[in-house]
């Protein structure tokens, strides 16, 4: 990357304005601009985002300042083999990742996937802002350019996730926001945790999970740090923490605070955990793309199955943690497939979530009779999909 800290702009001067980031990016894309867009978060002066464009296409997006906590969090879940790679806040992570990859002879497809996932996560937070100071510098670029993604049309899953963050920004401006639980509110936190348990699949006692979570929240860490320590996606944590913020049991802090207390955390540095696999059985490529976009950004691995007749073989081989399926499919409908899954010794205990356009009471009753854990009607909200998966993984009853 020739321009990350700060971008190398040659002799070109920067243009600054205050605008809606989405509109500004759309304007630059229409002009097929090349350079770097820097977006400053008006809610948190420590947060800046950079978007690199070539000919109006996205080549990379990242954060500026405090980037080590973000990279540690995301890379641990996206590419566990890189979990031990350390970054400084002012490092050129693009070059470091590329050099490490080249030195270890790993597949280029995996490197491109990592760079794309990092970029899309950054884009979500840029698009979530309604107005922000924006600076465009011509000539700044990443090197080598390994991905080029059209931005003329914002992908639906990306935009839906950005809209969700737009709603969350009133309470949690960004993943760099720090959460704090005061000692005198810990009893309230433990009590509220019984009603809103932490979204992890665990056999441990809920009280122990609540105590461990409280220990982390007392340290005033960013959401990225909390996500890394608790091995749960940032999105899942933000969705879960809302009632705690509303009751002021936990407070959100947008200003930068010292991380000196983090070293005292009594939490073991376990090896990276494999991401839970979610199978999506749907013949619609549009739905498959939407589900994959939502769940991969939430820390899940997605097994897409577009041929329902071949589903059983793929499911037995992969053993997913959750199965999503449509009702209306060719060859075999969702109800029949659900019945077959519940009769399979290897698959009958896997939670099933129906994704369908049918919203009749008889359809819901039939699904419940066949052992469906949750019934989600299309079009669904990204937050509802992530929340329903988290709950079925914890065996928490859901009012369908």
**Residue pLDDT, tens place only, 186-227:** 999 999 998 888 876 655 567 788 888 999 999 999 999 999
Strands (DSSP E) found in 123-268: 132-138, 149-150, 178-180, 221-222, 251-253
| CA 254 – CA 258 distance, rounded (Å) | 13
The least confident of 16-20, 71-75, 136-140 is 16-20
Closest CA to 296 of 157, 108, 106, 111: 157
Strand partners, 323: 279, 352
Sign of CA dihedral 282, 120, 201, 86: positive
- Cα Rg for the chain, rounded, in angstroms? 22
Q: What is the mean pLDDT of residues 276-305?
A: 87
Look at 254 and 346; give whichever has higher pLDDT: 346
Q: Distance between CA atoms of 240 and 387, rounded to whole angstroms?
A: 9
DSSP 131: S
- Tell me: pLDDT of 247 over 80: yes
- Residue 203's Cα: distance from chain center in Å? 24
Looking at residue 61, its pLDDT comes to 97
Burial code (b: 16+ CB inside 10 Å, e: under 16) for 153-188 equals: ebbebbbbbbbbbeebbeebbbbbbbbebeeebbeb
Locate tokens 């994959």: which residue? 292
Q: What letters, b where the CB count within 10 A reaches 16 and e where it falls short, cover 241-257?
A: beebbeeebbbbebeee
Task: Please state the domain extents for the chain.
Answer: 14-165, 178-264, 277-393
What sign does the dihedral 159-399-190-188 (CA atoms) show?
positive
Give the model's pLDDT for residue 199: 79
157 against 64, higher pLDDT? 64
Q: CA 73, CA 82: separation in Å to the nearest integer?
A: 11
d(CA 21, CA 131): 6
For residue range 358-381, what is the model confidence (pLDDT) as tens digits?
Answer: 777 887 888 888 888 888 888 888
What is the per-residue pLDDT for 335?
A: 85
Q: What is the pLDDT of residues 95-104, one digit of tens each?
A: 989 988 888 8
CATH T-level assignment (fold) for domain 277-393: Rossmann fold (3.40.50)
For all residues of the chain together, what is the average pLDDT?
Answer: 83
pLDDT digits (tens, 9 = 90+) for 126-143: 999 988 999 999 989 999
Q: Which residues pair with 53 in a beta bridge?
A: 35, 58
CB atoms within 10 A of CB 116: 17
Phi-psi bin for 207: left (phi > 0), alpha (psi -120 to 50), beta?
Answer: alpha
pLDDT tens digit string along 263-289? Answer: 333 333 444 445 789 999 988 888 888
The CA distance from 68 to 56, in Å, is: 28
What pLDDT is attached to residue 202?
56
pLDDT band per the 50, 70, 90 thresholds, residue 5: very low
Q: What is the structure's pLDDT at 112? A: 92
């Amino acid at each position: 990357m020739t321009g990350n800290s700060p971008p190398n702009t040659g002799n070109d001067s920067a243009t600054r304005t205050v605008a809606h980031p989405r509109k500004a990016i759309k304007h630059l894309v229409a002009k097929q601009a090349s350079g770097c867009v820097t977006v400053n978060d008006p809610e948190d002066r420590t947060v800046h985002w950079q978007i690199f464009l070539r000919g109006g296409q996205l080549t990379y997006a990242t954060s500026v300042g405090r980037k080590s906590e973000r990279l540690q969090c995301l890379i641990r879940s996206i590419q566990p083999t890189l979990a031990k790679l350390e970054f400084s806040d002012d490092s050129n992570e693009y070059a470091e990742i590329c050099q490490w990859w080249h030195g270890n002879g790993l597949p280029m497809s995996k490197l491109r996937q990592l760079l794309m996932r990092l970029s899309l996560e950054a884009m979500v937070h840029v698009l979530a802002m309604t107005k922000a100071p924006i600076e465009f510098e011509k000539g700044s670029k990443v090197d080598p350019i390994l991905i080029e993604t059209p931005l003329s049309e914002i992908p639906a899953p990306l935009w839906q996730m950005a809209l969700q963050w737009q709603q969350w920004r009133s309470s949690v401006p960004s993943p760099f926001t720090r959460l704090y639980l005061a000692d005198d509110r810990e009893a309230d936190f433990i009590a509220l945790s019984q009603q809103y348990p932490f979204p992890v699949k665990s056999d441990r006692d809920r009280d122990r999970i609540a105590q461990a979570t409280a220990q982390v929240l007392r340290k005033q860490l960013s959401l990225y740090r909390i996500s890394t320590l608790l091995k749960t996606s940032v999105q899942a944590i933000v969705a879960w923490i809302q009632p705690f913020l509303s009751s002021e049991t936990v407070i959100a802090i947008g200003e930068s605070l010292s991380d000196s207390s983090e070293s005292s955390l009594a939490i073991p540095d376990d090896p990276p955990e494999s991401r839970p696999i979610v199978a999506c059985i749907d013949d619609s490529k549009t739905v498959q793309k939407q589900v994959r976009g939502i769940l991969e950004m939430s820390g899940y691995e997605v097994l897409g199955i577009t041929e329902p007749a071949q589903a059983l073989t793929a499911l037995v081989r992969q053993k997913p943690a959750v199965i999503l399926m449509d009702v209306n499919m060719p060859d075999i409908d969702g109800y029949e497939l659900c019945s077959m899954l519940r009769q399979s010794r290897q698959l009958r205990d896997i939670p099933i979530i129906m994704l369908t356009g049918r919203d009749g009471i008889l359809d819901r009753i039939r699904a419940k009779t066949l052992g469906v854990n949750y019934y989600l009607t299309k079009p669904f909200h990204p937050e509802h999909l992530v929340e329903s998966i988290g709950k079925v993984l914890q065996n928490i009853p859901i009012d369908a």
